[in-house]
Structure 1
Amino acid sequence: MLSFAELTSPQVAALLTGPRRPVLLLPVGAIEPHGPHAPLGTDPLISVEVCERAVRRLASHPTVRALVLPPLPYGVTRYASAFPGAVHVSEETLYAIVVDVCSSLIKQGFVDIIVVNNHFEPEHVATLRRATTFLNVGYLDLVRRRNAARLTPEFQSGSCHAGQYETSLVLAARPDLVDQQQMAALPPFTVDMPAAMSAGHKDFLEMGMDKAYCGSPASATAAEGEQTYETLADMVLELIEEI
């Protein structure tokens, strides 16, 4: 079983007294446009998939029992507000829900929690860093240099919203959600998003992303997505070892 929410209350109680230490993974993302080809829920979809793969790899671990919490699909997402489908919550709302959810679990004895995020709007990332630091729980922070260096060249370039990197991950997990005809017709479009944000550009249109993507979605493959999932799951397992 992968899901915390599928357990009964007595089964949850047994986790705290069993021989394997429980570790809970909280997938986080945002509902926002990902080009004309990828689903609005790309970010939480990736986070859930990473968590589930990590849990499967720990299925026979003698001392750790990992489970996936219900995902938090809403995040700080102002940059995509010009496009239909973007669902934004404030920094205060995101901070409060992460702190409240994790605090509720910590009070029950579930102290080993890791937040797994795949939405990288700066204000969203800063809020998760603040919340996880306050809670003293783990956080898979992919924009930290040491983690980004292990991911694909497109991810490292910063031009990777709904491009080859993210589209490959969706193709590996849910190819039925990718409009592959649209994907194949999209030309590469380079935007150094971190630099653009630092220069004060606060939405996709200001960055020239009139189709809500950058990078090279037409180059995406399920094979690349599978390889990236292995790396992301490795990172989660390393965080579990640290705690």
Structure 2
Amino acid sequence: MTQFADLTMNAVADLLTGPTPVLLLPVGAIEPHGPHAPLGTDPIISAGMCDRAAARLADAPDVRVLILPPLPYGVTRYGAAFPGAVGVSEDTLHALVVDVCTSLAQQGFPRVVIVNNHFEPEHVTTLLRAVATLDRPTVRYLNLLKRHTAAQLTDEFRSGSCHAGRYETSLVLADHPHLVDTDTMATLPPLIVDMPAAMRDGRTDFPAMGMDQAYCGAPAEATAAEGLSTFDTLTELLIDVIRDLAKQD
């Protein structure tokens, strides 16, 4: 059993006498991902990483990995011109993360990894600020945007033209293919948008970036096989953080 919320209170108490518990907090956002992919693409990817990491470490003698109920809502404004963008403020997200991690620490579970796959700058900045507020080495944020980390991911991810494109759509196809409108996906032409550069130029919504269907990249090229391969890489990155965290006093 890997879901923290599925445990009884006695089972939670028993965790304190066994292998070092490390808790994973999946984070994402509910926002448009083109006309083909689900609004919950980001939390789906975070959950997929967590599920795989917990399964891979299920028999580890030195660490017990448990997955917390996800925080599916994030700071999301770039897709507000399209149906389905449901966001929270920076202060709300910050307070949720800080309060959840503080409550867990008070229960004897200080080791938490925040697993996020929504990369709107204000959202990422808020999560990093929450980690800084907590000011504990036992709370980590797996930052997939760091250069050495991103270098291990796909060409499209590294290009910055990857919102609801081949990268993200492949990951959803790997775990929840029924949520992807593959007929529509197949009709979408590649759309190259350097999102980081557009953001630096002050464009803060998808239409201003030229994303008139709330996607960029090449969703028609997405495959479940690529998604499974990418999940393998993402899972290895997460496991590295978990193992390091398990050693922290």
- TM-score with structure 1 setting the length: 0.98
- 1:133 deviates by 2.5
Distance 2:198 2:233 in 1: 28
Distance 2:151 2:177 in 1: 26
Instruction: Choose from 215, 232, 240 the match for 2:217.
Output: 215
Partner of 2:232: 230
- Summarize deviations over 1:54-73 as a string: whole Å, max 9, x none: 00000100110001000000
Alignment map for 1:6-17 (pairs within 5 Å) = 6-17=6-17
Determine whether 1:117 maps to 2:116: yes
- Summarize deviations over 1:194-239 as a string: whole Å, max 9, x none: 0000100010000011100000000000011001101111011100
- 1:241 deviates by 1.9
**Count of aligned pairs between the two proteins:** 242
Alignment map for 1:17-96 (pairs within 5 Å) = 17-18=17-18, 20-96=19-95
- Give the secondary structure class of the aligned counterpart of 2:21: strand
Q: In structure 2, what residue type is equivalent to 1:11?
A: A
Instruction: Choose from 139, 142, 166 the match for 1:140.
Output: 142
- Give the secondary structure class of the aligned counterpart of 1:11: helix
- TM-score with structure 2 setting the length: 0.96
- Summarize deviations over 1:52-111 as a string: whole Å, max 9, x none: 000000010011000100000000001000011001111111100000011100111101
Determine whether 1:184 maps to 2:175: no
Moved over 4 A (4+): none
CA-atom RMSD in angstroms: 0.6
Distance 2:244 2:58 in 1: 18
- Structure 2 residues not aligned, in runs of 5+: none
Q: Percent identity?
A: 66
Distance 2:152 2:71 in 1: 25
- 1:17 deviates by 1.6
